[in-house]
Structure 1
Amino acid sequence: MSYQQDQKYGEAYGQGQYQQQNWNQHSESQQYGQQPPYPGPSQGQRPLGQQDHGSFPGGSYFITHRDTNAVLNIDLQQGAVVKSKSGVMIHMSGTVAIQGNIKFSMRKMFTGGQMSETTFTGPGRVVLGPTLLGDIVTLPIDANSTWLIGKDVYLASTVDVKKDTKSQGFGKAFFSGEDLFVYKVMGQGLLWLTSYGAVDRIDLQPGEHHIVDNGHLVAWNCEYRVERTGGSTMTSMKTGEGFVCRFIGPGSVYIQTRNLDDFATWVRTAAGGQG
């Protein structure tokens, strides 16, 4: 987009004349990220397809280049705001205002919480992308849902989505492949998460169990416990192998199809180091 085109784009946005093709104008009462329900196979696995687009008060979004090089495109109306992890902006319209915020606290320093974030204010388009090869998924958040997510999977969110650090206990942290502290997400709006590899969603009925290997968790809103699957306890504690996460419904689990720790081990081994 040229400077002149970008300028006209911003003027049209500012006058309220710009309309994204095939999208209607949206009001505050509109639902976030309207998408039809997907019943899934009999065991509740929900494959996430190539199409992911929707709207929120003050803007709309669509995800491209799925599912290993995914990019999040957000179109903001005048004054609309989204937040993101620092350092994930690829490009944006010249009409978008960008501000970096540092939120220092002793608690965040201790828990490893996010110390900085970036705020984008419309009008215009913002394009975001994660560091690793993988997918981006949209997670609607409302007053009736509270999610836990790995700290490394957060990409961006609408302005009314709130996240805080939560301890999940040493045992779960060590053997699940997640950190001691994860994010607890609440509020109202849309949350965008990243993964290493593609993403599957598992929907569980009340009392239904599902087992996920450690290192593959992205987000979950149901109970889980860590179990040993084989080998001695001492060997498992040293390596983290032989442990899985057993989730118990009702609820949903987002999992990534690749394990970053396994990839890092492979790289070290291929480079002549120790795994």
Structure 2
Amino acid sequence: MKYQMLGDSDCPLLHVELQNNESIKIERGAMAYVSNVEIEGKMNSSKKGLGGVLGAIGRSMTSGESVFITHATGKSSDAYIGIAPSIPGKIKCLQVGGMTQYRLNTGAFLACDMSVEYMMKSQNVGKAFFGGTGGFFVMETSGEGDVLVNAFGDLLMLHVTPDRPITIDNEHVVAWDASLNYDIHIASGTFGFTTGEGLVNEFHGEGDVWIQTRNLHSLADAVSPFLPSSNN
């Protein structure tokens, strides 16, 4: 994928150049502009027919994803598309292939090569119930190519080693090495009320975790008292 970041470095837009008949997958609703590009909504499943429909609906119900995903295909040798994340923050390219694969938190996916696929990996009931990831599954990549993820705020990488596990607030986790083990639990106190941290992910093993520097739910809580209510 040939791309560049345009605009403010803190809130960039992803500009992708496409050759004739070259396609990429992008998050539904993320297109900002196109030139000589065909945009087509596809079922969010690698299967065809009824199996594909049921698979896409299943993904939506279990993970909170859209039933559809957008395919963008170049129709000339100088086609291009602008892709805008739904939240303000950095964009990061994760290169996947072979044993290097990632798991993505809800809302992190922005775009990927057609050679990259992703599947829904099941979690145990405790992780799914407490994790806030949208259901009993998380997204795991497969194949080879580029995956673009977006964050709220900046993106930082934390390295996990066997002798130094890292605990991270679940709302700050964007993506992590698929080889890492992790456990989701309450930070402390009764549902985190004593510290205000709530749910956290504890990562073990050897690998990297990408985190976002801002928390969208915390922002919503901060501005909520200033929003007009239905009684006003």
Provide the residue aligned with 1:188 in structure 2: 144
2:93 aligns with one of 138, 141, 161: 138
Amino acid at match of 2:157: R
* 1:214-247: CA deviation from partner (whole Å, max 9, x where unpaired): 2111011211123444323xx439x984442221
SS state of the match for residue 203, structure 1? strand
Which of 71, 75, 88 lines up with 1:119 in the alignment? 71
Match of 1:78 in 2: 20
| 1:107 is the counterpart of 2:63 | no
What amino acid does structure 1 have at the position aligned with 2:34? Answer: M
1:88 counterpart residue number: 30
Q: Distance in 2 between matches of 1:162 and 1:256?
A: 24
Name the CA distance, whole Å, in 1 between partners of 2:149 and 2:67. Answer: 18
* CA offsets 1:121-149 (integer angstroms, 9 cap, x no match): 12311110111111111010102122110
Q: How many residues align?
A: 212
After TM superposition, list the pairs within 5 Å mapping 1:14-33 onto structure 2: none
Distance 1:173 1:144, change over 3 A: same
Q: Is the 8 A contact 1:178 1:217 kept in 2?
A: no
Cα RMSD for the two superposed structures: 2.4
Which one has the bigger strand percentage? Answer: 2
Alignment partners' CA distance in 2, 1:177 and 1:65: 32
What does the per-residue CA deviation read over 1:98-132, in whole Å, with 9 as the maximum and x for residues that have no partner? Answer: 22223432422431343111111123111101111
Q: Which has the larger radius of gyration?
A: 1
Which residue of the partner structure matches residue 108 of structure 2?
153
Counterpart code for 1:230: S
TM-score by length of 1: 0.69
The residue type paired with residue 147 of structure 1 is Y
Instruction: Tell me what 1:97 maps to.
Output: 38
Q: Which runs of 4+ in 1 moved over 6 A?
A: none
CA spacing shift, 1:132–1:264, aligned 2, 3 Å: same
Alpha-carbon separation, structure 2, partners of 1:97 and 1:226: 41
SS at match of 2:17: strand
Identity within the alignment, %: 30
SS at structure 1 position matched to 2:100: coil
* Shift of residue 83, structure 1, vs aligned partner: 0.9
Q: C-alpha separation between the residues in 2 aligned to 1:228 and 1:118?
A: 36
Distance 1:242 1:128, change over 3 A: closer
Counterparts in 2 of 1:1-275, with a 5 A limit?
Answer: 56=1, 60-93=2-35, 95-103=36-44, 104-105=53-54, 106-111=57-62, 112-122=64-74, 123=76, 124-180=79-135, 181-221=137-177, 222-232=180-190, 235-236=191-192, 241-271=197-227
Alpha-carbon distance in 1 for matches of 2:66, 2:116: 15
- The alpha-carbon deviation at position 272 of structure 1 amounts to 6.5
Change (3 A) 1:256 1:177: farther
Q: Which amino acid aligns with 1:216?
A: H
Unmatched segments (≥5 aa) in structure 2: 45-52
Query: Post-superposition shift, 1:270?
Result: 2.6
For residues 86 and 163 of structure 1, do their structure 2 counterparts lie closer, same or farther at Cα, with a shift above 3 Å needed?
Answer: same
TM-score by length of 2: 0.81
